[in-house]
Structure 1
């Protein structure tokens, strides 16, 4: 059975090399739906946006798309009018080969900023790219990577059934390793589904999924210019149309959230130089904003991340990160747990086995829990440790 981005019916994908990356590494990817699809997308909040995103914002006004073309190794950002012109050159060549209108093709790009696209290389490779489309999405998942160490794919079923007991499926792939910070940053994520779904329902489901996954992770507090999360729904499952505020919508939205969170965690685990995943959970905060801010502050603290890398039980760094946040917080009512061990409560250090704590911090996953005892709101955030390898990768 197909998996990843081609798991839903009616989707093909591919990835090849055109020479943007060294050593013949794949750098072009294409996702294609055999029928027209409802489309939705969310993009970086950075004021500097890639030409790819500017094109997508215009194309998504039509609500329908049929393909996504992805360039890896060149961001096509800060390239002026030429960046838009080069995007149009690519679309003009790709559209007739796919037999679709160019406005029904979405773009994504990732890589170095400020370098014009090598249009000649890309143009020469596009016919081969289209010819290599297949039911196997693994080459596409490989092609979108930059500093990533692993591909990131997901296949999900929804519990919604169409004609002939065909279950609605969701497939996905993502890239992201560095420059990951909440509000979509240097990460690309693509989803496909064979659901029949209203455009408004698809957009709402994507917004909710991103809010509870990709916007809840951080690797290095750096916000990118190219972040994109795009979903195509081609209706091949022939289910009853999913509308907002229905039982089917809740099922679909839940499945998309789970798929998104799975990919988000894979991005964190593959953070540049990362060896450990850190989950920060804030409980009983005064309000949702407080819970989110506090969780983000701890997960993004370089001092906390470095301590986790060294399996250090220096929980004072966690307290310092909490204390600098503009949020309602009283150390005299606060409980702090690290991997289930109570280290601080009601204003003072607790009695615990420091060797036991240090040993637990050697695990691949570290859980930090903070109970504020001042409200009813909670938040979870995911991050990773900070190692010397991160500096080595990014020092050039």
Structure 2
């Protein structure tokens, strides 16, 4: 991916692309006074696409959003935090449809133009009096300024410590096109089709079909390559909306600027994915696994995700322990073909294994490196041309503390 194809926009937000506004407020779902209800609105019908969790227990909002997206367009997405509205039966489904209907009424748009997303505790019914009251106040909270994007970002957080947002610009037919994103996610993170909650906006001219294909491909390379704890949520959803207000020739894979747009699109996804991994519950560092020389890219991805998801590897990273044995054991159990005699492993630039045999290294230097806030594990299999990147975090005492008392 060439960085010359795009530039990151300083202080870029979900409302940077033309045609988008956002907002957020506190409606009473959270015990604190933090925002817990937000909305993104497009002034025109936007081409839209989405990917969802593959967990069989899918929350009610996903069913509603699927129905809204059946025609490939959206005008808005309404989001609540503090309650997942998952495993809540017929009442939960009805509540999700009520959220959609009330949002549409307040914005003066069709119900089918509204997507719904929820995040929080599973198995509890929404306090719909709080939700509907909050939705009636949303129009007054909506705007196109950075502070409105900030309020939206705060509204989608649960155990997150920081907001996650980015904007980039690319050139299409000589015109500047914006791509932006915002996401939440800190625990129950092991995407397998989508991730947590993430939202993307762009003013590019692109069909819903091409946006959907790009979203799926890019998700596999970014959001599907992160893990915090190996758990796939019931509510994971990634929604992308394109207003088309940049006014250039329609983007297709045959367009001369398609690669530039795809690179910018991937940059937004990768930045958000890495931000989620770095903000994993209790995490003290971002861990990046690079796999080279696998049979193919799919094989490399499987190996990289096995290493990044290993509790033993994650624990070693927390303890700054250069225990490469944890890494090679994960590589070996990934179920992918390899030559057990040709594996090299590095921790940063510190070589610890060559041709599957240990190499003497400076333990103190390794300790200092592993105590940093970003750690890179490089595995070279010398077996094929496959490559992959995966991101995660260390496993700490605080992860157990946070999740032992999540409901209380």
Shorter-chain TM-score range: over 0.9
TM-score with structure 1 setting the length: 0.96
Q: Secondary structure at the match of 1:331?
A: coil
- Look up the match of 1:144: 156
233-242 or 258-267: bigger deviation? 233-242
Give structure 1 regions of 4+ aligned residues with deviation exceeding 6 angstroms.
none
Q: Secondary structure at the match of 1:33?
A: strand
Distance apart, 1:158 and its partner CA: 1.6
In the alignment, is residue 79 of structure 1 matched against residue 91 of structure 2?
no
- Look up the match of 2:64: 55
Q: Secondary structure at the match of 2:335?
A: coil
8 Å contact 2:294–2:381 — kept in the other structure?
yes
Distance apart, 1:2 and its partner CA: 7.5
Distance apart, 1:79 and its partner CA: 0.8
- Look up the match of 1:361: 370
Following the alignment from structure 1 to structure 2, what is the Cα–Cα distance between the partners of residues 216 and 393? 24
Distance apart, 1:329 and its partner CA: 2.5
| Aligned match for 1:128, one of 137, 149, 161 | 137
In the alignment, is residue 249 of structure 1 matched against residue 258 of structure 2?
yes
In the alignment, is residue 324 of structure 1 matched against residue 333 of structure 2?
yes
Q: Secondary structure at the match of 1:290?
A: helix
| Aligned match for 2:360, one of 333, 351, 364 | 351
103-112 or 125-134: bigger deviation? 125-134
- Look up the match of 1:239: 248
1:164-243 alignment runs, 5 A limit: 166-184=175-193, 187-243=196-252
8 Å contact 1:185–1:224 — kept in the other structure?
no
Following the alignment from structure 2 to structure 1, what is the Cα–Cα distance between the partners of residues 334 and 49? 34
Following the alignment from structure 1 to structure 2, what is the Cα–Cα distance between the partners of residues 135 and 118? 29
| Aligned match for 1:156, one of 149, 168, 186 | 168
Following the alignment from structure 1 to structure 2, what is the Cα–Cα distance between the partners of residues 236 and 314? 52
Following the alignment from structure 1 to structure 2, what is the Cα–Cα distance between the partners of residues 34 and 159? 23
Residues paired across the two proteins, number: 393
Following the alignment from structure 1 to structure 2, what is the Cα–Cα distance between the partners of residues 186 and 21? 22
Following the alignment from structure 2 to structure 1, what is the Cα–Cα distance between the partners of residues 169 and 103? 31
Q: Which runs of 5+ in 1 are unaligned?
A: none
In the alignment, is residue 275 of structure 1 matched against residue 284 of structure 2?
yes
Following the alignment from structure 2 to structure 1, what is the Cα–Cα distance between the partners of residues 258 and 299? 29
85-94 or 353-362: bigger deviation? 85-94
Change in CA separation of 1:374 and 1:2 when aligned onto 2, cut-off 3 Å:
closer
Q: Deviations along 1:147-178, whole A, 9 cap, x unmatched?
A: 000000111102225xxx65111111000000
Following the alignment from structure 2 to structure 1, what is the Cα–Cα distance between the partners of residues 11 and 330? 45
Q: Secondary structure at the match of 1:6?
A: coil
Following the alignment from structure 1 to structure 2, what is the Cα–Cα distance between the partners of residues 319 and 195? 44
Q: Deviations along 1:253-279, whole A, 9 cap, x unmatched?
A: 111111100010100110001111111
TM-score with structure 2 setting the length: 0.94
8 Å contact 1:50–1:76 — kept in the other structure?
yes
| Aligned match for 1:28, one of 21, 29, 37 | 37
8 Å contact 2:53–2:237 — kept in the other structure?
yes
Distance apart, 1:85 and its partner CA: 0.9
Q: Deviations along 1:264-299, whole A, 9 cap, x unmatched?
A: 010011000111111111111123332112111110
Q: Secondary structure at the match of 1:262?
A: helix
- Look up the match of 2:6: none
Following the alignment from structure 2 to structure 1, what is the Cα–Cα distance between the partners of residues 29 and 117? 15
Distance apart, 1:245 and its partner CA: 2.5
